[in-house]
Amino acid sequence: MKQSLVILISAVAVSGCAGFVQTQKIDTAEITSGISYYLPKRMFDVTVTVKDIGFLKQQGEYTEAMTLSAALKAEAAKLKGEWDKLKLEANNTPTGDAKVDAVKVAQTAEGKYKAAKISADSAKSNMENLKRKYDLAISTPSGQCNYNISMKVSQQPLEPDTRHPLTLKMNHSWLRDDELTVKTTSSGLLSSLDVTTTDRTGDIAVEIAKIAAMVVTGIPLPAAPAAPRRAKPKICFPTELQYSEVIDFADKGKVFDISLRDSIGDKPDPTKYLLPPSLRISINIPNGGGVNLGDPLSKMCIGDSKTSEKCDRPGGFLYRRDETFLVQLQRAEEPYFVLASTQISMPNLSPVSAIPIDALRFVKTTNKTVFENGMLVSYDTSLPSQALEAAKIPTNILAALTGAIANIIQGKFTIIKNQTELADQKNKLNEALKKP
């Protein structure tokens, strides 16, 4: 069962149109106090497998598949000819028992043909897969070894990006009551937040929850022992070589080299084996992507038409969505070419957007936002935008209302002042009357 932390804040915040809830970046050492949360990230388990398929085995396997495919294709063509002939005879047979029998024979022939065609198509697909497999194989300069190379990328569950803690700042006021309910997962990812702001005077009551930072540590691969000097390479690597690591593509950069290891985690000895060329992995980052979380929040925040038309300030909550990236396995030596590619989705390198939590004069506002593991699922507000809400109140009325409050407040001070002056005058008069 999932655990969650619920934070309830009741505060009298800034009056008027303002972001009373704002996000700030903090140091990890300060995470023990305040309302803290993280942007989500997704790690990936990347596995690259390299195996020598052997030239003779490759040649025999492909030849066998090609022969089988040709035989099944010829058999299917023969059965189709027989079916076409029987179908024509059935169409030309007069109505009656003879026609019924002819149709049954034609239908049987049709079934045999379709079954043969399925087998032929399967054999053809197998042959093409083998050809593709061998076409992608990398040969050593001598041609003695022929390595088949494949890549598998598996996504991990979303987790907090703990390198960049974020915390909330509350701006207080005595003119308005506000309620903010924040739900996070136990690891600090946003779960949901509900905000209600009402323009009225109230008491200030603030409850601050503490969320401990979750420490994520990586497990390095074992170091390869020093390779002793041996004779000139003569043989292909007999078993499987592999690169396997759970990585954050935001940390790796656009291109990074990979190191192949054997089944016990050691690097293969280049003085003993004819090894495949060096390999690297690249990720295609679109223009505008790859926001550096080391930048100020004003640079991180990018406008989102569904939440905020502009983000010139870090008001409210920050979030980011999944975006699609192309990951390629490439040969890192000349001639350069792509060996395998796949698409992944992650929020790690996507732009950061803001959900504004604002309050407006004389208006009760409600914001309901739902997250799933820190990823925005839905956003519903009674005020789609500040501009729209301002348009609902004519400028002259808004100015009059604003001025009226100022006049009322000023009027109270004027009355008190006048009453004080009048009391002083009465006291002076009484004192004067008492004198002889």
State pLDDT tens for residues 379-388: 555 543 343 3
Contact 65, 123 (CB under 8 A): yes
The highest-confidence range among 150-164, 247-261, 338-352, 361-375, by mean pLDDT, is 247-261
Same domain, 248 and 280: yes
Look at residue 92 in the predicted model and tell me its pLDDT.
85
Half-sphere exposure of 329 (CA within 13 A, CB side): 23
Neighbouring residues of 75: CB distance < 8 A, sequence distance ≥ 6: 116, 120
Same domain, 47 and 86: no
183: confidence class by pLDDT, cuts 50, 70, 90: low
The highest-confidence range among 141-155, 187-201, 396-410, 412-426, by mean pLDDT, is 141-155
* CA distance linking residue 23 with residue 37, whole number of Å: 10
How many distinct structural domains can be found in the chain? 3
- Of 75, 105, 136, which marks where a domain is finished? 136
Question: Long-range contact list for 119-127, CB < 8 A, 24+ apart?
Answer: 119/72, 119/76, 120/69, 120/72, 120/73, 120/75, 120/76, 123/65, 123/68, 123/69, 123/72, 123/73, 124/69, 124/73, 126/65, 126/69, 127/62, 127/65, 127/66, 127/68, 127/69
Does residue 302 register a pLDDT over 50?
A: no
Does residue 228 register a pLDDT over 60?
A: no
146 falls within a domain: no
Contact 259, 222 (CB under 8 A): no
Does residue 293 register a pLDDT over 60?
A: no
Rounded CA Rg of the chain:
37
* CA distance linking residue 420 with residue 320, whole number of Å: 59
168 falls within a domain: yes
Mean pLDDT score, 135-149:
67
Enumerate the β-bridge partners of residue 169: 22
Which of 26-40, 167-181, 221-235, 400-414 has the lowest average pLDDT?
400-414
Instruction: Considering only residues 424 and 332, tell me which one the structure prediction assigns the higher pLDDT.
Output: 332
Same domain, 188 and 126: no
Same domain, 176 and 202: yes
145 falls within a domain: no
Look at residue 223 in the predicted model and tell me its pLDDT.
34
Same domain, 182 and 129: no
Mean pLDDT score, 78-97:
86
Q: Which residues of 195-208 are buried (b: 16+ CB within 10 A; e: fewer)?
A: bbbebeeeeeeeee
pTM greater than 0.85: no
Please report where in the chains the tokens 């001070």 appear, as a residue: 413
Three-state SS for 95?
Answer: coil
144 falls within a domain: no
Same domain, 64 and 124: yes
Same domain, 248 and 358: yes
142 falls within a domain: no
* CA distance linking residue 347 with residue 39, whole number of Å: 9
Contact 14, 207 (CB under 8 A): no
State the chain's mean pLDDT as an integer: 64
Of the candidates 402, 359, 398, the one whose C-alpha atom is nearest the C-alpha of residue 382 is 359
Instruction: Considering only residues 224 and 240, tell me which one the structure prediction assigns the higher pLDDT.
Output: 240
141 falls within a domain: no
Q: Is 145 exposed, middle or buried (0-12, 13-18, 19+ CB in 10 A)?
A: buried
14 falls within a domain: yes
Instruction: Considering only residues 296 and 127, tell me which one the structure prediction assigns the higher pLDDT.
Output: 127
Instruction: Considering only residues 139 and 301, tell me which one the structure prediction assigns the higher pLDDT.
Output: 139
Look at residue 45 in the predicted model and tell me its pLDDT.
92
Contact 23, 168 (CB under 8 A): yes
Residue type, 149: I
Same domain, 276 and 385: yes
Instruction: Considering only residues 406 and 84, tell me which one the structure prediction assigns the higher pLDDT.
Output: 84
The DSSP letter of residue 370 is E
Token readout for 349 is 């390198």
Does residue 2 register a pLDDT over 60?
A: no
Look at residue 426 in the predicted model and tell me its pLDDT.
62
- Of 136, 167, 195, which marks where a domain is finished? 136
Same domain, 214 and 300: yes
Does residue 179 register a pLDDT over 70?
A: no
* CA distance linking residue 432 with residue 436, whole number of Å: 9
Does residue 103 register a pLDDT over 80?
A: yes
Cβ neighbours around 248 below 10 Å, total: 19
Dihedral sign, CA of 209, 216, 191, 354? positive
Structural domain span for residue 128:
54-136
Enumerate the β-bridge partners of residue 198: 177
Pairing mode of beta strands 235-236, 273-274: parallel
Same domain, 201 and 248: yes
Mean pLDDT score, 191-199:
51
Same domain, 282 and 157: yes
Neighbouring residues of 61: CB distance < 8 A, sequence distance ≥ 6: 130
The highest-confidence range among 129-133, 257-261, 305-309, 342-346, by mean pLDDT, is 257-261
Look at residue 1 in the predicted model and tell me its pLDDT.
39
Same domain, 76 and 10: no
70 falls within a domain: yes
